[in-house]
Amino acid sequence: VQRSDVLLRPWTGPFGGVPPFDQVEVSALEPAVHAAVGLARQELRAITAQTAPPDLDNTIEAYERAGRALQRVLAVYRVWTTTLATPEVQEVERRVEPVLAAWADEVVANADLFARIDAVAQQTERAAWSPESRRLVQQIHRHFVRHGARLSPTSKARLAEINQRLASCFTAFNQNLLADEETCVLLERPEDLRGLPAGLVAVLAEAATERGLSGAWAVVNTRSVVEPFLVCSTRRDLRERVWRAFVGRGARGGPTDNHALIAEILALRFERARLLGHPTHAHWRLEDSMAGTPERALALMEAVWGPAVMRVRQDVAEQRAEAGGEPVAPWDFRHLQERVRKRLHDLDEEVIKPYLQLDRLREGMFWMARRLYGLVFEPAPEVPVYHPDVQVWSVQTVGGRPVGLWYFDPYARPGKHSGAWMSAYREQEAGLEEVLTLVSNNCNFSRGAEGAPCLLSWNDARTLFHEFGHGLHGLLSQVRYGYLSGTQVARDYVEFPSQIHERWLQSPELLERFARHARTDEPMPGELLGRLLRATTFGQGFGTTEYLASALVDMRLHLADPPPADPAAFEVRALAEIGMPSEVVMRHRTPQFAHLFASDAYSAGYYSYLWADVLTADAFEAFVEAGSMFDQGTAQRLVTHVLSVGDTCDPAEGFRAFRGRDVEIGALMRDRGFVGAARGAREVSSD
């Protein structure tokens, strides 16, 4: 038996089959991809070889059903490239990514296939299809057109070259970033640890030991370590060193420097957009978004930018006073912000943290999902996993209807990409047969010291709920076609279901039950909880500014004509033009901006978080207006019109059906404490 067969075969086991994570050999990944592409090619050939005239079933639905073996192989392959990226896996990735890009282009360039799809799309007016089938035809047809199906053979060939080269650039960008994130700032003397809490010191000690440097402390160059260090360390010199290493990721010169790659990516994207008939990459990307055009996305960003910067200036003034009149440097900002927060709100991250145990909050999320949506989570230890850190839960309704599986991979480790994300190993569908979804949440929390529970910061806890929101969006899907299922919605809409679930972390009912002290099991004292909830708009100026600066630079990079040849200089100029406060740095500087350059996914799309947050804030007020965060009628409407429908309807219509009107921006401004600044912004987000 060939080792790649196990990856190609239909999955077996419970829940309609599960990925055979316990039988994967890295050497089998690449042959499995090649074999699966071959199978998919045969399936498409069967569609185009038909003599029967094209119709919904024999063309569109047949196309939708094709390529399942490739989907299975890729589900496993992507787990290895994103969470188990050893040098061997990275080598495989460098070879496989261009193959996948070439395959995607081969499909779109298949003239016989597109002729049939186009013929079915022409039938739309007179066909008696269901609304979901209608949407499927429209979305598949649109995908082909947007990706070049109508181009001449010469242009298609150039497009394929561009896409394959981009795939290699993305992989190289990502691997450079991963390499820089595995470097560290080494601390060798106890006085270097000044201000750091014991939990963080333990994490740094363990990281040093892992690197064979016992007796020292390693500040690994990733967000989950760097941010708490910058908050806590009272050593200004070390804060500066750690900060410089972190914002310098991908910009260190030498073999891991990303600048040349970025210039090449921007040039290739620009050329591709022109081939596809759009003025710039941003125009092409936003065509199938909820915003629709770069201008509408920019208008929203600009409406929020001014008030956010104004708030940062107030924060800086407060911080200067806190620092005895010293100027505030970007490596001081988080530290001084925390000191001001302690003084103004009497809130100390280190006092809150022991109440935020990962295991308990996870139970809190399950409790939330049961109260809101009637979902029940139960451990499923029999399901195979790819790493001992990963745990799996089965999900069913209170009525006993099986829903799917939830995989959880919580901790940082070498070879795992930074950040947090959700993915679906298999999408829900209810076509020929009922298919249950398998979703996973991935985070990069620092594991607790040996035997101690993993404690989260308030921000980490929000990330936990955010990713679980994506997970619920996948789990609650109730659609016919996998192509339209779960989270496969417009990029600027997909963060709405995730962001709204962050709100339940602030539910006093949930916190009373699940925010319990790691040592004493006491619930968080009511007055601490009160202070915590009152301080939620604290720091929003900084958070919004570091985020929006990144989003604005993203949009400018992808609107530039011609595309910038020197991205470093472009970043400097763009920040000067928008009036970036010197005390704050972009959340993701260009050379480390994986959202933009590790794939096309969030390119000209980083604004999506803000766009979706306008929806989030407005939607959450529906619960407030109903008088309870757990109002059953409102939760049910959210499921009916948002969480269950995937991409089967236009997102603006889904939102309107849920809210009873179009979205309004006021709730977002109130939420971030920017009240009174929303003038003129309403219309940009009102459809």
Secondary structure element (H or E) that encloses residue 435, with its range:
strand 434-435
| Of residues 217 and 606, the one with the C-beta less far from Zn ion | 606
Applying CB under 5 A, the span of 35-43, 201-209, 327-335, 498-506 interacting with Zn ion comes to: 498-506
Which residue has its beta carbon closest to Zn ion? Answer: 498
Strand 429-430 with 434-435, pairing: antiparallel
Span from 66-74, 489-497, 559-567, 581-589 in contact with Zn ion (CB under 5 A):
489-497
Reduced 3-state DSSP string for 120-169? HHCCCCCCCCCHHHHHHHHHHHHHHHHCCCCCCHHHHHHHHHHHHHHHHH
Give a three-class secondary structure readout of 217-246.
EEEECCHHHHHHHHHHCCCHHHHHHHHHHH
Among 362, 375, 368, 574, smallest CA distance to 464 is for 362
Residue number, 192 or 460, with CB nearest to Zn ion: 460
The one segment of 25-33, 152-160, 206-214, 493-501 that binds Zn ion by CB under 5 A: 493-501
433 is catalytic: no
Of 8-16, 487-495, 529-537, 618-626, the window that binds Zn ion (rule: CB under 5 A) is 487-495
Both tokens of residue 3? 């080792």
To Zn ion, the closest distance from the beta carbon of 115 in angstroms equals 38
Q: Name the minimum Å distance from CB 676 to Zn ion.
A: 29
Question: Residue 583 or residue 671: which is nearer to Zn ion going by CB?
Answer: 671
Which residue number, 491 or 641, has a Cβ lying nearer to Zn ion? 491
Write down the least CB distance from residue 265 to Zn ion, Å: 23
Nearest to 28 by CA among 64, 66, 1, 54: 1
Q: Judged by CB under 5 A, does residue 133 bind Zn ion?
A: no
Give residue for tokens 């339940």. Answer: 504
Q: Least Å distance between CB 623 and Zn ion?
A: 20
Contact between 312 and 547 (Cβ < 8 Å): no
Stretch that binds Zn ion, among 34-42, 279-287, 389-397, 496-504 (CB under 5 A): 496-504
Nearest to 568 by CA among 111, 349, 164, 263: 263
User: For residues 173 and 606, which CB has a smaller minimum distance to Zn ion in the complex?
Assistant: 606
The amino acid present at 220, given as its one-letter code, is V
Q: How far is the CB of 506 from Zn ion (least distance, A)?
A: 18
The backbone torsions φ and ψ at residue 357, rounded to the nearest 5 degrees and listed phi first, read -85, 135
Interface region with Zn ion, contact rule CB under 5 A, candidates 17-25, 357-365, 446-454, 490-498? 490-498
Q: Is 337 in the site for Zn ion (CB under 5 A)?
A: no
Q: Which is nearer to Zn ion, 394 or 498 (CB)?
A: 498
Residues written for the chain: 687
Closest contact distance (angstroms) between CB of 360 and Zn ion is: 23
Nearest to 269 by CA among 376, 356, 391, 165: 165
Closer CB to Zn ion, 427 or 495, in the complex = 495
DSSP codes, 182-199: T-EEEE-SGGGGTT--HH
CB closer to Zn ion, 423 vs 485? 423
**Binding to Zn ion by residue 487, rule CB under 5 A?**
no
Q: Which is nearer to Zn ion, 307 or 471 (CB)?
A: 471
Cβ of residue 495: shortest distance to Zn ion, in angstroms? 5
For the chain, the first-to-last Cα distance in angstroms comes to 55
Q: How far is the CB of 609 from Zn ion (least distance, A)?
A: 7
Among residues 64, 93, 467, 664, which one is catalytic? Answer: 467
Q: Which two tokens stand for residue 628?
A: 């309870």
Gap between the Cα atoms of 529 and 549, Å rounded:
32
- The interface region with Zn ion, picked from 155-163, 310-318, 494-502, 523-531 by CB under 5 A, is 494-502
What 3-state class would DSSP assign to 429?
strand
Write down the residue that tokens 């967000």 correspond to.
Answer: 223
d(CA 582, CA 106): 47
CA distances from 531 to 312, 358, 441, 511 (A): 22, 21, 30, 13
Regarding 498 and contact with Zn ion (CB under 5 A), the answer is: yes
CA atoms within 13 A on the CB side of 546: 16
The least distance separating Zn ion from the CB of residue 642, rounded to whole angstroms, comes to 15
164 counts as binding Zn ion under rule CB under 5 A = no
**Is residue 618 within a helix (H) or strand (E), and if so which, with residue range?**
helix 608-626
Q: Around Cβ 519, how many Cβ atoms within 10 Å?
A: 9
- Count of residues interacting with Zn ion (CB under 5 A): 2
Active-site annotation, residues: 467
Contact residues for Zn ion, defined by CB under 5 A: 495, 498
